[in-house]
Chains A and B, each alone.
Chain A
Amino acid sequence: MKREFGKWLGWAYYLALLFFLQLPILLLIIFSFNDSVLLVFPLKGFTLDWYRQLLGARELLNAARNSLMVGLISSAVATGLGTMGAIAISRYNFPGRQFFLNIATLPLVIPYVVLGVAMLILFQALGITLSLWTITIGHAIINIPYVMLIVAARLSGFANNLEEAAMDLGATYWGTLMRITLPISAPALVAAFLSSFTLSFDEFSLAFFLAGTDNTLPVYLYSQLRFPNRLPLAITTAAVVILVSVAILLVSEWLRRLGVERNARQGR
């Protein structure tokens, strides 16, 4: 009896919190179809006009393309470097290992405003003009720890007897790495790449400090927030980005679970 009541209460609370969390997103999506520049109720009427305008908004599409490039390149770099680090820390015990791990995971906790400031000063001191490349470097740095932890978690689930067996059979170390270790970590690699990409694609604070004349999508959107008549277009972009990033993350989560399940089936 009591448990039934608890369950009922639980559902009520869950739905209330769900409403609180989804309402703002829902509002943005609703207003992206609203036939008015102002984001106020009552709604004026249904329109696809903002979506049509989106296709013609050159600067916005440009910014989206920049974000795509920055996201792809920084995630690829982070995945490469992070995986190397992950193999090193999960397969070798060496002096300085904990030190390396501490430094490599520090970007997880450093406030982006601090990292942004530090990198801005570095680039200025080196005379490097800010550009999409400087943002790419920044995003690679913040993504390395995520990749390392995801891939290392996967690798530590496998004892390296497979690798040893391959080498006993005459494979070279690097051949073993390419044919055994990397395929084993494949689901983690893909998940790490996708989560890096999503982080980079939405990252604003660091990009704000490191942006030159070319903007990424969040930096561009931020500059547009001030123009009331451009708000609908920003919101429509948001609606599209929401759908795309949700799709990407669902795929990445699916891949991760696939990896975990296979892990479990193989009895680790």
Chain B
Amino acid sequence: MKKTRVLFALLVAAALLLAACAGGPSGPAEQRNDSLIVLEWSGYEEESYWAPFAEKHPEIYPDYAFFSEDAEALAKAQSGFYFDVVHPCGSWWGLYVEAGLVQPIDTSRLENFDKLFPELVEHGVINGQQYFIPWDWAYESITVRTDLVDELPTSWADLWDPQYRGQIAIFDSGESTFYTAALALGLDPYNTTPEQDEQIKQKLIELKPNLLTYWADYTEINQLLASGDVALGANTWNDAWATLNDEGYEVEYVDPAEGRLSYACGFGISANSRNVDLAYDYIDALIDAQSNANMANDYYYGAANRDSVPLLDPDLVDKFGYDDLSVLDETNFQHPLTQEQREKMTRIWNEVKSEQ
């Protein structure tokens, strides 16, 4: 019975052909004209964050597709998943533009645009055009359970101090860990030579005895710190500190000598969007002073809208400088990365993690 063999051969050949044709991004997905599809982090779908949109379009409730990692969102967008609006963080913005996934934004169509902090808005400009509208911003630093350590770290380099052996959980991110090691070595993370990359890799391998585990999202690191499994949460956002502080734990958010890291996230409109008008209205609603403040207060982040500041928790404004963005000058703001930069950072992190 040769037939079965022939059948198999034909099918394998068909599969090969299929693969050859389908190598690139695939065709458009479902068409929707009466609704808005938002590619969003889970937890940001609260109606209070976009109330003006609901007022203007009471008949439309946005459809959400959630992601929990920036990588996941980009993979989804690249694979042809249909969306109108997407909410990636700053260091990923460049890749969306590079791949032609988003369209330039006509800022005159956003009523609230002029109220945004210019220090944040400028990062959304890529190739001379505004592609992303910043919404939320925060720091990345070290959260410490002060009751569990003898001495507080005062710099990124202190993470390598043997006294913290097995007491640290670090963000499972090639990008963040690269910055951390580069800063500890006194290097400029955006301009490293191959020798310096190797140095950074070795530095990260040297950190491993101090690491207990990696953390992947804020609930995980909060849990690790709250249970006391670790004393230091490296590359944590200010919300880790704020959440634990609210729950009565003795915590400190370090201001490292090399400067904190900082970043902003924001919204872009899909190049394939069929609901551009709705997309503009939705983004405008998000950056409304009250909506922006509602989100910032829920997550302890900074708001991109200047007029939101009076609506924020004054203690947090004071502690984190949410009212005057010149604080960003003392931090290492995370710029959009190119594909090559990101590949390099994840390659180094792969090698570090696989080193036993």
Q: Which residues of A contact B (CB under 8 A)?
A: 94-96, 99-100, 124-127, 129, 213, 223, 226-228
Of B19-27, B180-188, B308-316, the one with at least 4 CB within 8 A of chain A: B19-27
Task: Please judge, given known A-B contacts A96-B1, A213-B65, whether A125 and B22 are in contact too, CB under 8 Å.
Answer: yes
A sample of 6 more A-B contacts (CB under 8 A), given A96-B5, A226-B220, is A95-B4, A99-B4, A99-B5, A129-B29, A227-B219, A228-B219
Give chain B nearest CB distance to A175 CB in angstroms.
24
* Contact among B18, B66, B81 with A129 in the assembled complex (CB-CB below 8 Å): B81
Asked whether A226 lies within 8 Å of B29 as measured between CB atoms, the reply is: no
Do A125 and B19 touch (CB < 8 A)?
yes
Write out, one digit per residue, whether chain B residues 127-165 have a CB within 8 A of any chain A CB (1) or not (0): 000000000000000000000000000000000000000
Per the 8 Å Cβ criterion, residues 250-290 of B in contact with A are: none
A-chain residues with CB within 8 Å of residue B220 when the two chains form the complex: 226
Q: Is the C-beta of B80 less than 8 angstroms from some C-beta in chain A?
A: yes
Check B2 for interface membership: any CB of A closer than 8 A. yes
Residue B46 is within 8 A (CB to CB) of chain A in the complex: no
Chain A residues near B223 (CB-CB < 8 A): 226, 228
Partner of A125, one of B8, B18, B29, B68: B18
Tell me if B18 and A126 are in contact (CB < 8 A).
yes
| A95 neighbours in B (Cβ, 8 Å) | 1-2, 4-5
Closest to B22 in A: A125
Chain B residues near A129 (CB-CB < 8 A): 29, 81
Q: Which single member of B2, B19, B68, B80 contacts A127 (CB below 8 Å)?
A: B80
- The residues of A that contact B22 with a CB separation of less than 8 Å are 125-127
- Nearest B residue (CB) for A123: B79
Residue numbers in A under 8 Å from B26 (CB-CB)? 124-127
Asked if residues A226 and B23 are in contact (CB atoms below 8 Å), the reply is: no
Whether B198 is near chain A, meaning CB under 8 Å from some CB there, is: no
Tell me the chain B residues, 1-23 only, with Cβ under 8 Å from chain A: 1-2, 4-5, 8, 18-19, 22-23
A226 contacts which chain B residues (CB < 8 A)? 217, 219-220, 223
Chain A's nearest CB lies how many Å from the CB of B264?
A: 25
Which chain A residue shows the least CB distance to B21?
A: A125
Which chain A positions have C-beta within 8 A of B65? 213
Q: Do B66 and A213 have beta carbons less than 8 Å apart?
A: yes
Task: List the B residue with the shortest CB-CB distance to A92.
Answer: B1
In chain B, what residue has the closest Cβ to A94?
B1
5 shortest interchain CB distances as A-B pairs: A127-B26, A125-B22, A94-B1, A226-B219, A96-B4
* Minimum Cβ distance to chain A for residue B223 (Å): 5
Task: Looking at the assembled complex, report how far the CB atom of B256 sits from the nearest CB atom of chain A, in whole angstroms.
Answer: 27
Contact partners of B23 in chain A: CB under 8 A: 125
A94, B4: Cβ atoms closer than 8 Å: yes
Q: When chains A and B are docked, how far (Å) is the Cα of A226 from the Cα of B68?
A: 12
Query: Complex formed: what's the CA distance from A124 to B217 in Å?
Result: 26
B27 partner residues in chain A, CB cutoff 8 A: 127
Chain A nearest CB from B1 CB (Å) reads 4
- CB neighbours (8 Å) of B80 from chain A are 127
**A244 CA to B23 CA, complexed, in Å:** 44
Q: Could you tell me the distance between the alpha carbons of A256 and B29 in the complex, rounded to whole angstroms?
A: 46
Most buried by A among B26, B27, B29: B26
Task: Give Cα A124–Cα B76 distance, bound, in whole angstroms.
Answer: 9
Check A127/B219 contact, CB under 8 A, given A95-B2, A96-B4, A213-B66. Answer: no
Hey, which chain B residues are within 8 Å of A227, CB to CB? 219
Report the Cα distance A5→B68, complex, angstroms.
58
Q: List 27 A-B contacts (CB under 8 A).
A: A94-B4, A95-B1, A95-B2, A95-B5, A96-B1, A96-B4, A96-B5, A96-B8, A99-B4, A125-B19, A125-B22, A126-B22, A126-B26, A127-B22, A127-B26, A127-B29, A127-B79, A129-B29, A129-B81, A213-B65, A213-B66, A226-B217, A226-B219, A226-B220, A226-B223, A227-B219, A228-B223
Q: Give complex CA distance A96, B226 in Å.
A: 60
B214 to chain A, nearest CB (A): 13
- Residues of chain B from 177 to 232 with CB closer than 8 A to chain A in the complex: 217, 219-220, 223, 226
CA distance A160 to B18 in the complex (A): 42
Question: Roughly how many angstroms separate A223 CA and B5 CA in the complex, as a whole number?
Answer: 44
Alpha-carbon gap, A196 to B253, bound state (A): 51
**What distance in Å separates the Cβ of B312 from its nearest Cβ neighbour in chain A?**
26
User: Distance in Å from the Cβ of B245 to the closest Cβ of chain A?
Assistant: 17
Cα distance A102–B1 in the bound complex, in angstroms: 17
**Which of B27, B29, B79 is the most central at the interface, judged by chain A CB atoms within 10 Å of its CB?**
B79
Q: How far is the CA of A105 from the CA of B56 in the complex (A)?
A: 58
The answer, among A94, A96, A124, A223, for a CB contact under 8 Å with B79, is A124
Contact of B4 among A100, A125, A127 (CB under 8 A): A100
C-alpha spacing A227/B81, complex, angstroms: 28
A124 to chain B minimum Cβ distance, whole angstroms, is: 5
The 0/1 profile, CB within 8 Å of A marked 1, for residues 47-77 of chain B is: 0000000000000000001101000000000
